[in-house]
Amino acid sequence: MSDKLASVREIPYSEVEGYLPPVEPFDWDGEFPDVLICALGFEDRTRAIVGRLAQTVDPSKSKHPLAVYCEYQTNNEDNAANRGPLLALLNVAYERSVSVTADDPASLRARMLDELSQVATSSAKPISVMVDISAAAGSLILTLCAVLTEFSATHRMRLRVAYAEAGSYEPSKDAYEVNGEQLVLKACSSGDASSLHEFGVAEVEINELYPGSPQEGREELIIALPAYRTERLSRCLRRVSSEPILPIGDHVHWILGEPPANELAFRLEFQKRVITRLLVGESEAVSSGKALTSENMSVTSTLHYQQTTRRIVEIVDAHLGHTLSLVHMGSKMQGLGAGLALAVRSEVTVCYARPTRFNPKLYSCGIGPMWQVDFSDFGVVVDMLRTVGRLQMTTAVETVRSGLPAQ
C-alpha cells in the first residue's frame, strides 16, 4: 500500500528571478525589431540608440514595419530641435514613423495596442519590439510597461529594452564637493529657471493604467523612488495620502538609486542628504524620528533593474492589506524594474507629476555607455513573476506499507 504525503509551500522570488535577463552592453547584432519605440527629448542621447541602428541598415532590404516616437508637452521647443534628425534616422529603417503623446496614458495605450496588433497580424512569426528608454521620462516608462504587459498576454513578443546613459550629469562631482550643502538646500526649495534639472509642477495625476486598489480605513504605504529635487515629489506624496496633514516621511518607504560607476557614487550621498533634509527640515538634529533608516529606506542599482523589481515585490508582499501607492522619479532602469513589479502586483496606485519645465543646460550632456536587456519572450517573464507568493502543492514523500491486515 502506498502513501503520498503532500506539502504546500509559497513560491519564493528566488525561484523566478533567473527569468529576468541581465543588463548587458548594447551590442547591436543587426536584427532590427518589427517595432521600434523611442521618445523625443532634448538630451544629446535622444538619438544615440537610433543612430547606432541606422548605421547598419542594408538599403537592398525591405524596410521594417513601424517606428513610434513619444512626444511630451513639456519643453516642446527644446525637444523639437531633435525631431528632424530623429525622424531622418527612423525613416532610414522603417516604413512608417508615427507620433504618440507621452503624457496621456489612456490615449497612448489605445494607439499602441492598435499599432502593435496591426503589425502582429501581418507577421507569421512572433513580433519583436525594441523600446529605447534613453529619453523616456519615468512616467512614460511605466506606461509603456503596462501597455507591453497587456499586449504580451495575447501575443508572443520578444522585447528588447535599450538605454544610452548621458556622458555627464548635473551636478558634477567637483560641484558637489565644493557646494554640496547649497545644492541640497536648492534641491528642497521652490525652483526657478536657474534650478538644477527642473522647476515647477504642471500637474499631479494618477496614472489610469495603474489605478491600484485604494480603500478607506486601511493603513497607507507609499513607495517613493526620488530624483534630486523635491518639489514634484512632495506634491505627489500629498496627492496619494488620504490625510493632507500627514507629515512627509510617515508611511513612506524610500528606494534610493546607487550608480554602479565609481565616479557617480557621490550621487547616492547627495540623494540621501536631499531626502533627509526633506524629512527633518532645516534642523540639523534628527530628533523627530523621520530620518532615513534601514526600516524606511532601501537602495537599488540605477542600472540593474532586477534589484528594483525584487525590492518592490518584497515591500508590497510585506504590506498586504495596506493601501499602496508608488511615486517613481528615479533612474530610467529603476523605472523598468518598477514597471515589471507593477505588472505582477496590480494593487499599487501610481502617481506622477510633470514639471513646469526641465532645464536642458542643467540636466545632462553627451552620450555615455549604452546598454540592453533582451526578454526573448516577455509574456513568459511576466507569467513567472506572477507566481511569486502563490501556494504550490507538491508530493514530498511516497512510502510503502506492507503486512497490514486486509480491510
- The distance between the two most distant Cα atoms of the chain, rounded to a whole number of Å, is 91
Q: Which residue in 79, 6, 3, 25 sits closest to 47, CA to CA?
A: 79
CA angle 263, 369, 58 (to 5 degrees): 170
DSSP code per residue over 141-199: HHHHHHHHHHHHTTS-EEEEEEEEEEEEESSPHHHHHHHHHHHHHHHTS---TTSSSEE
227-237 residue pLDDT tens: 998 999 999 98
CATH C-level class of 22-165 = alpha beta
List, for residues 154-203, the tens digit of each pLDDT value: 999 999 999 999 999 999 999 999 999 999 998 988 877 778 788 889 88
Higher pLDDT, 315 or 249: 315
> pLDDT value at position 367?
97
Query: Of 253, 227, 243, 248, nearest to 324 (Cα)?
Result: 253
Q: Alpha-carbon torsion 55, 148, 197, 276, what sign?
A: negative
Q: What is the pLDDT of residues 40-81, one digit of tens each?
A: 999 999 999 999 999 999 888 999 999 999 999 999 999 999
Q: Is the pLDDT score of 268 beyond 90?
A: yes
User: How many Å apart are CA 38 and CA 34, to the nearest integer?
Assistant: 13
Domain definitions of the chain by residue range? 22-165, 170-362
How many whole angstroms separate alpha carbon 199 and alpha carbon 201? Answer: 7
CB count in 10 Å sphere of residue 369 = 13
Q: What is the distance, to the nearest Å, from the Cα of residue 382 to the centroid of all Cα atoms in its chain?
A: 15
Q: How many residues does the chain have?
A: 407
The span from the CA of 346 to the CA of 344, in Å, is 6
Q: What is the pLDDT of residue 2?
A: 59
pTM confidence score: 0.92
Chain Cα centroid distance, residue 65? 26
Q: What is the pLDDT of residues 86-133, one digit of tens each?
A: 999 999 999 999 999 999 999 999 999 999 999 999 888 999 999 999
Residue 9 makes CB contacts below 8 A (sequence gap 6+) with 391, 392, 394
Give the C-alpha separation, 332 to 328, whole Å.
10
Phi-psi region of 196 (alpha: psi -120 to 50; beta: other; left: phi over 0): beta
190 close to 233: Cβ distance less than 8 angstroms: no
Name the average pLDDT for the chain: 91
Burial of 218 (C-beta count, 10 Å sphere; 0-12/13-18/19+): middle
Q: Per-residue confidence at 286, pLDDT binned at 50, 70, 90? A: very low
Overall average pLDDT of the 19-35 stretch: 94
Which of the pair, 300 or 290, is modelled with greater confidence?
A: 300
Instruction: Supply angle C-alpha 134, 174, 187, rounded to 5.
Output: 65
pLDDT digits (tens, 9 = 90+) for 331-358: 999 999 999 999 999 999 999 999 999 9
pLDDT at 253: 96
Angle 113-119-125 from CA coordinates, rounded to 5°? 120
Q: 40: closest CA among 112, 113, 97, 116?
A: 97
User: CA angle, 329 as apex, 324 and 334 as ends, to 5°?
Assistant: 85
